[in-house]
Amino acid sequence: MAGIKFEIEEKLGILSERKGWTKELNLVSWNNRKAKADIREWGETHEKMGKGITLSREELIELKNILNSMDL
């Protein structure tokens, strides 16, 4: 992604793996900003990435509450 800087500050977990790509939950800093929770697919070297979703701490807490309330 040209012009976009990112740094994976902490790898939190792998959700799934498929054909050399992994769907991961990480703390990622985008363009030198404060790191946020990020869910997306990454290539093996973390140089290529798929579309994903970035969540603030508050959004991550709300997602946790929603998941905890579900009967899984």
Give pLDDT, residue 4.
Answer: 87
- State the pairing for strand pair 49-55/6-18: unpaired
Tens digit of each residue's pLDDT (9 = 90 or more) over 5-37 = 999 999 999 999 999 999 999 999 999 999 999
pLDDT at 50 over 90: yes
Q: Where do the domains of the chain lie?
A: 6-69
Q: What is the pTM of this model?
A: 0.87
**For the domain 6-69, what is the CATH code?**
2.30.31.70
Using a pLDDT cut of 90, give the percent of the chain over it. 92
CA pair distance 2, 27, nearest whole angstrom:
20
Query: How far is 72 from 9, CA to CA, in rounded Å?
Result: 30
The SS3 call for residue 32 is coil
